[in-house]
């Protein structure tokens, strides 16, 4: 089953690449529908699943909801309990180090998701 590049897919991927928040499917739909008025939430989900499979984007759960991220490199996600925001913690060497340690421990890692709850700088001043 060869995959086909559709307008919808292009828009979704573009949006995720450009946007550096970590929107959920509904937020993505809300945005993309502005340019493609007929696109449905189901289509957004189907495309997101495809993009994740192709490793063009990554996904992770917060609460009950999947969030999507156009940045695929190793990084850490921080969920600020005060601002509610999901922030990127760019520490690729740290993730690399964790990866190595886990491997030494006898588990061959593929994907590593590190999700931290706590407070970001902005959140602390609230």
Partner DNA sequence: GTATATGCAAACAATTTGCTCTCCT
Partner DNA sequence: AGGAGAGCAAATTGTTTGCATATAC
x/- letters, 50..69, toward DNA (CB under 7 A): x----------x--xxx---
Q: Is the dihedral of CA 73, 68, 48, 102 positive or negative?
A: positive
Q: Which of 126, 38, 34, 20 is nearest to 80 (CA)?
A: 126
Residue 5 binds to DNA (criterion: CB under 7 A)? yes
Residue 116 partner contact from DNA, a second copy, none using kind-dependent CB cut-offs of 5 to 8 Å:
a second copy
Residue 121 partner contact from a second copy, DNA, none using kind-dependent CB cut-offs of 5 to 8 Å:
a second copy
Please tell me whether residue 3 adopts helix, strand or coil conformation.
coil
Among residues 81, 85, 92, 96, the one that binds a second copy under rule CB under 8 A: 81
Query: 29-65 b/e with 16+ CB inside 10 Å = b?
Result: bebbeeeeeebeeebbeebbebbbeeebbbbbeeeee
Residue 13 partner contact from DNA, a second copy, none using kind-dependent CB cut-offs of 5 to 8 Å:
none
* DSSP annotation of 106: T
Interface residues toward a second copy, by CB under 8 A: 61, 76, 78, 80-81, 87, 89, 91, 94, 97-98, 101-102, 105-121, 124
Interface residues toward DNA, by CB under 7 A: 1-9, 24-26, 36, 38-43, 45-47, 49-50, 61, 64-66
């Amino acid at each position: 089953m060869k995959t086909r590049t559709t307008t919808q897919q292009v828009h979704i991927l573009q949006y995720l690449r450009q946007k550096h928040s970590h929107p959920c499917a509904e937020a993505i739909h809300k945005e993309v529908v502005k340019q493609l008025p007929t696109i449905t939430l189901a289509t957004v989900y189907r495309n997101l699943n495809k993009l994740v499979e192709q490793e063009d984007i990554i996904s992770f759960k917060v609460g009950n909801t999947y969030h999507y991220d156009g940045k695929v490199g190793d990084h850490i996600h921080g969920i600020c309990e005060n601002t509610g925001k999901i922030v990127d913690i760019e520490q690729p060497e740290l993730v690399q180090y964790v990866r190595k340690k886990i491997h030494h421990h006898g588990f061959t890692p593929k994907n590593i998701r590190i999700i931290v709850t706590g407070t970001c700088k902005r959140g602390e001043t609230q």
